[in-house]
């Protein structure tokens, strides 16, 4: 009896090798290769002959192209990220950490598209009773939702062809398997094969499909990177697990922009849309303590006003502690070095803590000036007025650099009733519209600190 052919596959990127390797030459990951048998075709070869079903070349000029119709999900924030709704026959991949709210959001979508047709919910992780308990908690009453607890792709394909639903949900892609591949469910080969089968079905029958995917500890969708290349849209549901706010971000979209984000709040009744996130994020800022400042940041094309809080206190150890929550730690230490060098603040004996309120994570450098002023405010015990918004990137020499989308940030601050706005001087020179705001332009952090010292709202240290 002939020995079955085996290959070694990298579980991180899908690279195949004839022998085991300690380090993958494609993605440079260590100890990711596993052995996998190659299934033989009916004629004994390792590659089946599929020439009979091969596509024929077509003249591009003869193809009739028209705008694909969209299906509204009934969730405004999701439609915003998708570019207007789900495109008929598209394949959408939704990823996120465990417990972040992926299945909850999908169930709400299933309930909102009443009257559009049948919805087939395929789950390999939960039973019908578990899905029903969640549906009752969310108040879902849609007779068109059909549940299928199955992991075999052949059975799933037959049911899809028979029912012909309007929308198919696969929860999750890592639990599905095909008998044609000998490896376990969730491996690179299985995920790649299952996605290819689902893509073929949804494209041929014009069935919209949403695939839920697990993520790795680095935050990437588990499986080969080719998985994201195969689908039409890739969405990530982000947010701290123990905070209520969630951000839906599109990282790939063949039918719309990837600059849009949607914001939700996890409540007992499910994922609730936040149509005006800035007012929610700063709603609990009643008093005016030292070390608190409002900054204007961008999530895609949406401006957000978020509160930053800083706390400085004398260290009791020889080595002062630095802590950053919601912002890059290295960015905080760099800005503190700028404060020490260019503003003469003796922070070497201070423990410094920085927190972005509400669990939102900021990666944009436009909040640098807000971090500088928040730390200085706490260190000097001077409160920043509550009607001031701050924005600007800070360089290593202490200069305040211009930021993008300044008009949207100013209009958001104006809409929420703020009176003053501190922005880079270069941005102020290029402003075309008139605003009700008192706009203060600063060239460097010394100018910004002068404004803070000349308008004190707290007790200044001697």
Structural domain spans, the chain:
6-37, 69-275, 280-454
> How far, in Å, CA of 433 to CA of 31, rounded?
58
Q: List the single range of 59-68, 84-93, 336-345 with lowest mean pLDDT.
A: 59-68
For residue 172, whether the previous peptide bond is cis, meaning omega lies within 30 degrees of 0, is yes
Using CB atoms within 10 Å of the CB of residue 22, give its burial: 0 to 12 exposed, 13 to 18 middle, 19+ buried: exposed
* pLDDT greater at residue 188 or residue 117: 117
Backbone φ/ψ region at 85: left (φ over 0), alpha (ψ -120 to 50), beta: left
Residue 67 has pLDDT above 50, yes or no: yes
Q: How confident is the model at residue 39 (pLDDT cuts 50, 70, 90)?
A: low
> How far, in Å, CA of 86 to CA of 92, rounded?
9
Residue 52 has pLDDT above 60, yes or no: no
CATH architecture group of domain 280-454: 2-Layer Sandwich (3.30)
Contact 95, 214 (CB under 8 A): yes
> How far, in Å, CA of 392 to CA of 366, rounded?
5
- The full DSSP string for 135-166 is HHHHT---TTEEEE---BHHHHHHHHHHH--S
User: Which fold, 69-275?
Assistant: Rossmann fold (3.40.50)
HSE value, Cβ hemisphere, 13 Å, CA-based, for 269: 3
Q: List the single range of 191-195, 215-219, 249-253, 443-447 with lowest mean pLDDT.
A: 215-219
pLDDT, residue 15, reads 82
Measured at the alpha carbon of residue 11, what is the angle toward residues 5 and 14, in degrees to the nearest 5?
70
Contact 168, 122 (CB under 8 A): yes
Q: How confident is the model at residue 97 (pLDDT cuts 50, 70, 90)?
A: confident
Using only C-alpha atoms, the chain has a radius of gyration, in whole angstroms, of 27
Token pair 């999530």: residue: 299
Identify which of 363, 327, 349, 340 has the alpha carbon closest to the alpha carbon of residue 449. Answer: 340
Mean pLDDT, rounded, of the chain: 85
């Amino acid at each position: 009896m002939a020995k079955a052919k085996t290959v070694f596959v990298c579980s991180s990127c899908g690279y195949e090798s004839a022998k085991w390797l300690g380090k993958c030459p494609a993605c440079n990951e260590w100890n990711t290769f596993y052995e996998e048998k190659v299934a033989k075709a009916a004629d004994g070869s390792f590659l089946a002959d599929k020439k009979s079903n091969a596509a024929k070349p077509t003249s591009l000029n003869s193809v009739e192209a028209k705008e694909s119709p969209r299906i509204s999900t009934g969730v405004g924030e999701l439609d915003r990220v998708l570019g207007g709704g789900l495109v008929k026959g598209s394949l959408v991949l939704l990823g996120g950490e465990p417990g972040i709210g992926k299945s909850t959001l999908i169930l709400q979508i299933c309930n909102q598209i009443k009257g559009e047709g049948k919805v087939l919910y395929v789950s390999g992780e939960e039973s019908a009773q578990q899905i029903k308990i969640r549906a009752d908690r969310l108040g879902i009453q849609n007779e068109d939702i059909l549940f299928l607890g199955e992991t075999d792709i052949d059975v799933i394909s037959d049911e899809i062809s028979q029912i012909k639903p309007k929308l198919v949900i696969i929860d999750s892609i890592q639990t599905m398997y095909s008998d044609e591949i000998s490896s376990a469910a969730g491996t690179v080969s299985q995920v790649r094969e299952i996605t290819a089968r689902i893509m073929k079905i949804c494209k041929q029958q014009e069935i919209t499909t949403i695939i839920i995917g697990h993520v790795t500890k680095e935050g990437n969708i588990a499986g080969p990177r080719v998985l994201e290349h195969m689908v039409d849209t890739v969405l990530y549901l982000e947010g701290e697990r123990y905070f209520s706010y969630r951000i839906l971000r599109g990282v790939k979209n063949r039918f719309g922009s990837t600059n849009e984000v949607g914001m939700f709040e996890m409540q007992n009744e499910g994922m609730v849309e936040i149509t005006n996130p800035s007012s929610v994020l700063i709603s609990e800022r009643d008093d005016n303590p030292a070390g608190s400042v409002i900054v204007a940041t961008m999530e895609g094309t949406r401006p957000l006003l978020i509160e930053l809080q800083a706390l400085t206190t004398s260290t009791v150890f020889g080595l002062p502690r630095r802590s950053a929550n919601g912002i890059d730690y290295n960015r905080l230490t760099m800005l503190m070095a700028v404060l020490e060098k260019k503003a003469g603040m003796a922070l070497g004996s201070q423990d410094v803590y920085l927190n972005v309120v509400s669990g939102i994570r900021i990666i944009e450098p436009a909040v640098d000036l807000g971090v500088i002023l928040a730390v200085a405010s706490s260190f000097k015990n001077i409160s920043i007025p509550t009607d001031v918004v701050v924005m600007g990137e800070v360089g290593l020499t202490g200069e305040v650099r211009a930021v993008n989308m300044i008009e949207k940030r100013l209009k958001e601050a104006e809409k929420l009733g703020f009176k003053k706005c501190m922005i880079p001087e270069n941005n102020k020179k290029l402003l075309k519209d008139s605003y009700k705001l008192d706009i203060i332009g600063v060239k460097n952090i010394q100018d910004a600190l002068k404004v803070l010292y000349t308008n004190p709202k707290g007790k200044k240290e001697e």
